[in-house]
A and B are shown apart, each in its own frame.
Chain A
């Protein structure tokens, strides 16, 4: 967050952002590992009285009292009953029975969403600058639901229950579970209740990428956030004995390597166990790695643990190379020894040298922080990907936001690697994940809420989605680091968030609770299932035809059968399938006429929008349109992507389209 406000255009457009007084009325609830209240990110200098709507508390517990809260950090609760019922009493020698964050994750996410301005922030001199949350004047309430043993659904439900009572405006959840139907998923259930009360719920999409169908938190009333990179990097390079140099990234700061080439060994050849190349605990033979640079392959155990394993075995440094699962994605870590992370192509080239030279040597050179990296953003390899495995007709993720190498506040209880043997303490740490992208959107949603207090959660999400961008300034499409090719709506959703444009989207796709109930009817949910999820007796009308395609979502996901003998939806022709979607746009800008434009990447798909123009004469006026998707036969697992845009010449209201044959 010493870079993301600028990367998102917030710094350059401060004049168009909502007044700080209105932002300070917005409360962001963060369900996570708690908070380190002493972090400068929660300094309340200049903050006025706590909003009168606030009903929350700062709960007293171990190493945490009400005095740890202030006008910035206005609430701190913790939820242990579910956790302790399953795993036994909290071991207070390892974690506090309070909202105190001894993990770091919760402090990082909360400060990313709404941290105060902290000049001179850095991690070991890397990423130096002014750290700040996306909504610096918003208030923070933390709900600690994650403990050393995990985050239990009974605690999560209790926390959301309380957050609703407390009157938060935005909820940020950087966590997820296994895929399950909405009526069984506590996050989806809690989010539904929050949405009903006008609370926007932003959740991380998951780190299961680049595999397809790897998304978490896909309910349509949740804002699901994937991760992209920044234009910032932490370059380092490896120089090997044959004179060649290879680029990578590093956050190492400490004792330098000797000013000479060091012997170089592949971990797989310095171990007598299967999988020795992964540098798992206790697998390296000290006599074979002592004083050497060790090359380890990424995967299975944490990256920073590999560094610790090499150090413990006497290694002088580590080169950590990606495998196919991560491709060229470079995630920097604050390793305990001189270390560098490298992409798969570079790693393979180094391995070719390492395994062919009789006396291989190497050294690592660290170059600090570099800005202006292009292209950026690119979709992070780890960012979970669609299609949506619960409801394929709802395109997820909704959008991407910065989630790679993010600097934000950190706990004072553990070091930046969070390893037990890491006795370093830092005020800020640099970490990666959709956990980091989610609170960026939570903070941006708080800004939109402040600017438009009457907007529903769906309207806020719509504004963020329809103004997201899918191309770089040079016109080329956003890339996916996992493939090096253009990313698709299954990777980036509507695109990368652009908060300044989102403040004035022109039109929004709004959704009410009833719309979501109709959606559940379209899913053929039983009355019992709807009651369990939505907490009401709602019977679907047997005389009414419900369609998932009618959910007024700001994106389009269309599924055609690969066997074209059958047809879907209304209308059909021999050898082709037809699917119709209906949408309604609400004018939140000036009166005017919007004209539609459609683009697809494949001529086998026809997209017809009717009508082609929509005229709005007053604020909050609603106009509907229909999209007919027609397609000829395509092999199974084929995907075609496109885009539908409405424009009045000033605003562009864009929707991604994903068409699949299954």
Chain B
């Protein structure tokens, strides 16, 4: 299935205590829906979350994971 880029917003306050670092939690959430998916970026200031390549089914699946606020497909912007 074709993969697209998604921006995954996480609720940092819901990070399980077992994780010391939020990036490990992000990674664990991602790996729970796709073994092969890798994070493009992890974001700190703008959102709590990351961007990654997923299939539509994987995107739907990760949206239902605990601690996930929202999953939005990447958008292309243009110069003005």
Are A164 and B45 within 8 A (Cβ)? yes
A193–B70 touching, CB < 8 Å: no
Q: Is B24 an interface residue (CB 8 A)?
A: no
Q: Which residues of A contact B46 (CB under 8 A)?
A: 157, 160-161, 164, 189-190, 193, 535
Residue in chain B with minimal CB distance to A436: B80
Q: Is A153 a contact of B79 with CB atoms below 8 Å?
A: no
Q: Report B-chain residues with C-beta under 8 Å of the C-beta of A165.
A: 44-45
Asked whether any CB of chain A lies closer than 8 Å to the CB of B43, the reply is yes
- Inter-chain contact B75/A186, CB cutoff 8 Å: yes
Q: Are A153 and B80 within 8 A (Cβ)?
A: no
Contacts of B45 in A (CB 8 A): 160-161, 164-165, 193, 197
The reply to whether A157 and B43 form a contact with Cβ atoms under 8 Å apart is: yes
Enumerate chain B residues within 8 angstroms of A161, measured Cβ to Cβ: 41, 43-46
Q: A152-179, CB under 8 A of B: which get 1 and which 0?
A: 1110111011001100000000111110
Q: Would you call B40 an interface residue if the criterion is a C-beta within 8 Å of the partner chain's C-beta atoms? A: yes
Q: Which of A146, A153, A193 contacts B74 (CB 8 A)?
A: A153
* Chain B residues, CB < 8 A from A156: 77
Among listed B5-13, B15-23, B27-35, interface-contacting one:
B5-13
A82 touches B78 (CB 8 A): no
Q: List 24 A-B contacts (CB under 8 A).
A: A82-B41, A82-B51, A85-B5, A85-B53, A86-B4, A105-B79, A146-B79, A150-B78, A151-B79, A154-B5, A157-B46, A158-B43, A175-B78, A175-B80, A177-B75, A177-B76, A177-B78, A186-B77, A204-B80, A435-B79, A528-B69, A529-B70, A531-B11, A535-B12
Q: Which of B51, B70, B75, B79 contacts A532 (CB 8 A)?
A: B70
Do the beta carbons of A174 and B78 come within 8 Å of each other? Answer: no
CB of B44 within 8 A of CB of A151, answer no
Given known pairs A177-B76, A438-B80, the reply for A532 and B47 (CB within 8 Å) is yes
Chain B residues within 8 Å of A433, by CB: 79-80
User: Which residues on B are within 8 Å of A, measured CB to CB?
Assistant: 4-5, 7, 9, 11-13, 40-41, 43-48, 51, 53, 69-70, 72, 74-80
Residues of A within 8 A of B41 (CB): 81-82, 154, 157-158, 161
- Chain B nearest Cβ from A217, distance in angstroms: 9
Residue of B with least CB distance to A438: B80
CA distance A532 to B49 in the complex (A): 9
- Tally of contact residues, A, Cβ under 8 A: 50
Q: Does A206 contact B (CB under 8 A)?
A: yes
Which 6 interchain pairs have the tightest Cβ spacing?
A154-B51, A204-B80, A435-B80, A164-B45, A81-B40, A177-B77
Interface string of A182-207 (1 = CB under 8 A from B): 01111101100100010000001111
B53 CB → nearest A CB, Å: 5
Closest-CB distance, A145 to chain B (whole angstroms)? 8
Quote the shortest CB–CB distance from B1 to chain A (angstroms): 15
Option from A153, A164, A205, A438 in Cβ contact (under 8 Å) with B77: A153
Distance A193 CA – B44 CA, assembled complex (angstroms): 10
A185 to B46, CA, bound (A): 12
- Among A184, A197, A535, max chain B CB count under 10 A is at A535
Looking at the assembled complex, report how far the CB atom of B6 sits from the nearest CB atom of chain A, in whole angstroms.
Answer: 9
Q: Which residue in A33, A153, A187, A537 is a CB contact (below 8 Å) of B76?
A: A153
Check if B78 sits within 8 Å of A154, measured CB to CB. Answer: no
Residues of B within 8 A of A185 (CB): 75
Known: A151-B77, A175-B80, A531-B69. A85 touches B9 (CB 8 A): no
Q: Which residues in A have some Cβ–Cβ distance to B below 8 Å?
A: 32-33, 81-82, 85-86, 105, 146, 150-154, 156-158, 160-161, 164-165, 174-178, 180, 183-187, 189-190, 193, 197, 204-207, 216, 433-435, 438, 528-529, 531-532, 535, 537
Return B22 CB to nearest CB of chain A, in Å.
Answer: 12
Chain B contacts for A204, CB-based, 8 A: 80
Contact of B76 with A151 in the complex, beta carbons under 8 Å: yes
User: Hey, which chain B residues are within 8 Å of A186, CB to CB?
Assistant: 7, 75, 77
Q: Which residues of B contact A537 (CB under 8 A)?
A: 11, 13
CB-nearest residue of chain B to A109: B79
Give Cα A124–Cα B46 distance, bound, in whole angstroms. 43
Whether B78 pairs with A535 at a CB distance below 8 angstroms is: no
B40 and A154 within 8 A (CB): yes
Q: Report yes or no: B77 in contact with A187, Cβ–Cβ below 8 A.
A: yes
**What is the CA–CA distance of A531 and B11 in the complex, to the nearest angstrom?**
7
Residues of chain A with a CB closer than 8 A to B75's CB: 152-153, 177-178, 180, 184-186
**Pairwise interchain contact A33-B79, C-beta atoms closer than 8 A:** yes
Known A-B contacts A81-B41, A82-B51; the reply to A174 vs B77 at CB < 8 A is no
Contact status B76-A216, CB under 8 Å: no
Inter-chain contacts of B4 with A (CB < 8 A):
86
The distance in angstroms between the C-alpha atoms of A197 and B44, with both chains bound, is: 13
Task: Determine the distance from Cα of A193 to Cα of B74 in the docked complex, in whole angstroms.
Answer: 19
Q: How far is the CA of A151 from the CA of B75 in the complex (A)?
A: 9
Question: For B41, B46, B72, which residue has the most chain A Cβ atoms within 10 angstroms?
Answer: B46
Closest to A537 in B: B13
CB-based nearest B residue for A150: B76
Measured between alpha carbons, how far is A151 from B79 in the docked complex, in Å? 8
- Complex: how many Å from CA A292 to CA B41? 55
Report the separation of the CA atoms of residues A187 and B74 in the bound assembly, to the nearest whole angstrom: 12
Complex alpha-carbon distance, A193 and B40, angstroms: 20
Contacts of A164 in B (CB 8 A): 45-46
For the complex formed, measure the closest distance between the CB of B10 and the CB atoms of chain A, giving whole angstroms: 9
Nearest-neighbour CB distance to chain A for B56, whole angstroms, equals 15
Residues of A within 8 A of B77 (CB): 146, 150-153, 156, 175-177, 186-187
Q: Are B80 and A532 in contact (CB under 8 A)?
A: no
CA distance A33 to B79 in the complex (A): 9
Expressed in whole angstroms, the minimum distance between the Cβ of B40 and any Cβ of chain A is 4
- Assess whether A207 is in contact with B40, with CB atoms less than 8 Å apart: no
Chain A residues lying within 8 Å of B74, measured Cβ to Cβ, are 82, 86, 152-154
Q: How far is the CA of A105 from the CA of B4 in the complex (A)?
A: 28
Considering the complex, give the chain A residue whose CB is closest to the CB of B7: A154
User: Contact between A153 and B7 (Cβ–Cβ < 8 Å)?
Assistant: yes
By beta carbon, the residue of chain A nearest B50 is: A154
